[in-house]
Amino acid sequence: MKPPGASRLQDTAREIVQSLRAAGFAAYWAGGCVRDRLLGRAAKDVDIATSARPEQIQALFPRTLDIGKAFGVIQVLWDDMAFEVATFRHDLPYHDGRHPEGVAFGNAEEDARRRDFTINGLFYDPEEDRVLDFVDGQADLERRIIRAIGDPAARFQEDHLRLLRAARFASVLEFDMDPATADAVRRLAPLLADVSAERVQQELTRLLVESPRAGQGLVRLHDLGLLAVLLPEIERMVGQEQPPAFHPEGDVFTHTVLMLDLMENATPELAWAVLLHDVGKPATARLNEEEDGSTRIRFNEHDSVGAELAERILLRLKMPTRLVETVRHCVANHMRFMSVRQMRKSKLRQMAGAATFPLEMELHRLDCLASHSDLSNHEFLLKFVDDLRNEPVLPPPWIRGDDILALGIPEGPRVGYWHRKAYEAQLENRFPTRETLLEWLEHSIQTEEKPPK
């Protein structure tokens, strides 16, 4: 097996193995990097498994960090890179659904058999260019199967997060799941409720961002019973009907799945905005009688209700504050794209000048493609932005607070009111210069009959 491409990462990992072997220890690349190598995928990191004990690893390399010495894991620092070097081990019993009581150092085969899935239990010898496979992982790679090592229930009861990792690997790699492994996931899905929010959201985000078709990953979470445990608000989308005239694709869940499948090079912000943009629909669904006597389903204020739900979900998952704020904004405002043709130019410029505008545009595009396929409002906004390419979308305001105070307006809310009015007039190009805008502002203030409060 030849490497898919030389890299500093691989070259350095090879040198670490050579150093360990020169000192008389067995050493191999281990786990995900071997799986990805066999699949022709670029590895983000290389982990190394060895017969050397933690203190021997520390003595052999000049720069190390003790990141898990009790479990046999030492981080070796080499130039600007870091490698986890772990002693062959097998785990002692688990009691908290996450950590073993301890480990016992052993050999390569024992180390392979303690791991989660067969495709992650492989070792690679970079000097002899050969794979060590004690768990039939290569056969499962060829068959494109996710299969737990040994008894699936035992593997999942050891570390409950493996339930979600099984779904994530299947989605990212587009593999099927071994029936016995899938059955164990369904039976034990409630155990995920005890896993920390941080670990859950990391796996969910990776599933959404790294999967070629994230929508199918969402379907798998539903089919395995994991979605109802982790995101019951999303589970409620299943079967929630929508008006066929606007959503010929089907229910809210189907619409969301299609949007996720259409994403390309998704950021976490986009992926979560897509997932949550219609989360308010089940709670706001009403059968409304129309003027012509017909009835149709409406979701009044589902955007604002959805924004609150989205924030609650993301905070529950301990997401970063900036992502929470960004996704909430996108969910709260995704319906305004319906009326962009009726917006004043100043409103459009403020919308287009927002830092979230590119993200909102992509969310709107996917929303349209996964429903009625009408992209006319998207194209209208693209042309609007293109027409502004030779000038700043949001230029500096000509009128400042001091100007308004000088016209006799006392400090308070009225200063902000007139500042907004002046800036809107400037954005709409109603006045050619600051001076003419200031004259209009002075006249407007003087002739105002009922000043706003």
pLDDT value at position 154?
94
pLDDT tens, residue by residue, 208-259: 999 999 999 999 999 999 999 999 999 999 999 998 888 999 899 999 999 9
Closest CA to 354 of 310, 322, 394, 382: 394
Mean of pLDDT over the chain? 91
User: How many alpha carbons fall within 13 Å on the CB side of residue 130?
Assistant: 4
pLDDT value at position 5?
43
Taking each helix axis as running N to C, give the angle between helix 345-353 and helix 413-427, from 0 to 180 degrees, rounded to the nearest 10.
Answer: 100
Judge contact between 30 and 20, C-beta under 8 A. no
Please provide residue 28's backbone torsions phi and psi, each rounded to the nearest 5 degrees.
-145, 160
- Does the structure show a pLDDT above 60 at 1? no
Task: Give bridge partners of residue 288 from the DSSP assignment.
Answer: 296
Contacts of 378 (CB under 8 A, 6+ apart): 337, 361, 364, 365, 368
pLDDT tens, residue by residue, 353-363: 888 999 999 99
The torsion angle over the Cα atoms of residues 407, 409, 410 and 414, rounded to 10 degrees, is -150
pLDDT tens, residue by residue, 65-82: 998 888 899 999 998 899
Closest CA to 360 of 387, 380, 339, 333: 333
CATH class of the domain defined by 148-230:
mainly alpha
- Does the structure show a pLDDT above 50 at 3? no
1-143 is classed CATH 3.30.460.10 = yes
pLDDT tens, residue by residue, 285-298: 998 877 777 888 89
pTM of the model: 0.83
Binned at pLDDT 50, 70 and 90, residue 451 comes out as very low
Please provide residue 247's backbone torsions phi and psi, each rounded to the nearest 5 degrees.
-135, 70
Judge contact between 363 and 274, C-beta under 8 A. yes
Judge contact between 25 and 52, C-beta under 8 A. yes
- Does the structure show a pLDDT above 70 at 85? yes
pLDDT tens, residue by residue, 421-439: 888 888 777 888 888 888 8
Q: Locate CATH 1.10.3090.10 in the chain.
A: 148-230
pLDDT value at position 99?
66
Contacts of 83 (CB under 8 A, 6+ apart): 12, 13, 16, 45, 46, 47, 48, 75, 76
Q: Locate CATH 3.30.460.10 in the chain.
A: 1-143
Question: How open is the CA angle 135-136-139, to the nearest 5 degrees?
Answer: 160
Binned at pLDDT 50, 70 and 90, residue 59 comes out as very high
